[in-house]
Structure 1
Amino acid sequence: MTAKAFVALVTCFNDDETLNLDATRAQVRRQVQAGNHIMCAGTNGDFTALTFDEKIALTDAVVDEVAGRAQVIVNAGMPATFETLKLAREFDRIGVDGIAVITPYFIACTQDGLIRHFSTVADGVGTPVYLYDIPARTQNHIEPATAAALADHGNIAGIKDSGGGRDTLEDYLAIWTARPDFAVYSGPDHLVHWSLMHGAAGYISGLGNVMPDTLAAILAAHNAGDHAEAERQQDIFGRFRKDLYALGYPPALVKRALFLMDSSVGASRQPALLPDPAQDAAILQILRSYGLAG
């Protein structure tokens, strides 16, 4: 099986915080050129700061720009099943390769509630649905037994695990062992190579916005069986992650680092990270140490 690298693409904004679809298209081209696939409207795409209509416009532009050269997954997850399904149907109409559904946030869910939530969305669209688990942000966790039950749904194709724990990832991978049609994609950037070596179908990375070629190199080396090179590239990726994320909230820092490399991406929507000269200087120093800025 050939593993795939997806980048959880940033959403670009103008100075007045309106969508900048031209700049977003440029980031799509950059990722496709590196050999990566695209996930849009995810955690690193400021999805909680986007309106319903903006998510549709964003996805439409990304799919149009990709033009079949890569796969596109889009996150439809919202706190309520009703709006999640409405979004998912719009993405189904646009024609994406997969619809990710992040666990509801703010609303505390039982495991039965999660099964009903994901099943309702998967019942309502023809596009394959992927569960998206990131409990540190949503406070709701898809237990492995719940994921196993949902794997029996004919239109739930896999899971994106952004929990960060190897034990849970191993439990999800055990489902894949029993159900090869249930793909497991890992999310934490320090586990790219480890997850691939343990059977993950691929990776969905936020840090790949800043280091697209390094992410692609990990996957290319792994797929070629050159695990020493994959580990070397992972070491670079992991050290950069540790240095950058030591400064604060990861998605905002990824966006700010990319902004310092290319200001056309714009800042994050407020109340996320504010520009700060001292912090920008620290980010620039990290970028320069990895050859990412002049």
Structure 2
Amino acid sequence: MNNITGVYTAIVTPFSPSGEIDGVALREQVKRQQQAGNNIFCNGTNGEFFMLNEHEKTRVTEICLEAAGGDTGVMSHVGEISTSATVRLGKHIEKLGVRAVSVITPWFATLRPQELIAHFRAVADALTVPVYLYNIPARTGNTLTPEIVRELAEHPNIKGIKDSAGSWESLQGFHEVSQQFSDFSVLTGPDSLIYRGFTEGSIGCISGIANIIPAQVNAVYRHLQEKNAAAAEAVQADINQIRTLLYGIAFSPAVVKKAVNLLGYNVGESRYPVDFTQDDTNKILAVIKDFNLRG
């Protein structure tokens, strides 16, 4: 039985004015998500994992687990550019008690299918915590295809995939793989596909926009659990509008963090080198006002 289900928020990593991890603010965000019924996915793209060192990633995970207690599942991303670094971080993280870890494809270097397979198998062999593949080719330059994933799904410790390729065709291909394995599941990455993912095979979603609208994202899942597809689809339509307006402003994880700040939560500046103009800020404020978003 897979224990990664429902909504996981790809939680932002708050920083203090001096640039250090702000544990108080992070705990506040975990509790905020918990109140909406969401689980926690830390050290992802919205958590700025590219900008965190190994110690910081471990500390973020520790804080999320402490804040969540036993009521909220915590999943942590441990993917690094090399196999050895991924294994090293994964071993640190699994000792903390997370439910699962995700592993992104290596980036910058273009890898052949057999090299990607060898990388993920080596990581899964080395760890005892359940491993989820993380497909986001637009950011890494490496694509996990259904053919590659079908081979990896045979590994007893590879339990599923988070697909953030951005298209329904990609997600559907992994749904077809999951139908062939009783212990391999799909997590929807794109916020635009949460509803469709749940209705057609995904057992969970990992959402960046849930940092801004935690209750709305959870409502898609809750309505579907209650067999109210029309209500779920209506909420998804609102999410899509908010997403389109916000994500067109700048690099979306930086926009998410800026919006959380403008909602009244002090999560600090993004380490991503995005410089928001006053016009950018006004556009985010307009979305908050027009959709009556609340912290």
Offset, 1:263: 4.3
Distance (whole Å) between structure 2 residues aligned to residue 180 and residue 208 of structure 1: 29
Question: What is residue 38 of structure 2 aligned with on the other side?
Answer: 36
| TM-superposition CA deviations, 1:78-129 (whole Å, max 9, x none) | 1111101000000111110001001111122111111111111111111000
Question: What is residue 256 of structure 1 aligned with on the other side?
Answer: 258
User: What is the correspondence of 1:9-48 to structure 2 with a 5 Å cutoff?
Assistant: 9-48=11-50
Question: What is residue 164 of structure 2 aligned with on the other side?
Answer: 162
Question: What is residue 243 of structure 1 aligned with on the other side?
Answer: 245
Could you tell me which runs of 5 or more consecutive residues in structure 1 were left unpaired when the two chains were aligned. Answer: none
Q: Give the counterpart of 1:209 among 203, 208, 211.
A: 211
Q: Does 1:274 align with 2:275?
A: yes
Question: What is residue 292 of structure 1 aligned with on the other side?
Answer: 293
| TM-superposition CA deviations, 1:29-71 (whole Å, max 9, x none) | 0001100011000010000000110001110111111111111
| TM-superposition CA deviations, 1:138-185 (whole Å, max 9, x none) | 111111111010000000000000001111211100111111310100
Q: Which runs of 4+ in 1 moved over 4 A?
A: none
Q: RMSD of aligned C-alpha atoms?
A: 1.4
Identity of aligned residues (%): 36
Q: Letter of the 1:292 partner, please give it.
A: L
Q: Give the counterpart of 1:177 among 167, 174, 179.
A: 179
Question: What is residue 199 of structure 1 aligned with on the other side?
Answer: 201
Could you tell me which runs of 5 or more consecutive residues in structure 2 were left unpaired when the two chains were aligned. Answer: none
Q: Letter of the 1:232 partner, please give it.
A: A
Q: Give the counterpart of 2:113 among 111, 114, 119.
A: 111
| TM-superposition CA deviations, 1:170-204 (whole Å, max 9, x none) | 11001111113101001111111011111111110
The alignment of Structure 1 onto Structure 2 pairs a total of residues equal to: 293
Offset, 1:287: 0.8
User: Does the CA contact (< 8 Å) of 1:136 and 1:163 recur in 2?
Assistant: yes
Q: Letter of the 2:126 partner, please give it.
A: G
User: Does the CA contact (< 8 Å) of 2:254 and 2:272 recur in 1?
Assistant: no
TM-score of the superposed pair, with normalisation by structure 2: 0.97
The 1:66/1:283 distance shift into structure 2, 3 A limit, reads same
Question: What is residue 132 of structure 2 aligned with on the other side?
Answer: 130
User: Does the CA contact (< 8 Å) of 1:3 and 1:196 recur in 2?
Assistant: no
Offset, 1:17: 1.4
Distance (whole Å) between structure 1 residues aligned to residue 118 and residue 261 of structure 2: 40
User: Does the CA contact (< 8 Å) of 1:3 and 1:219 recur in 2?
Assistant: no
Distance (whole Å) between structure 2 residues aligned to residue 127 and residue 156 of structure 1: 9
Question: What is residue 228 of structure 1 aligned with on the other side?
Answer: 230
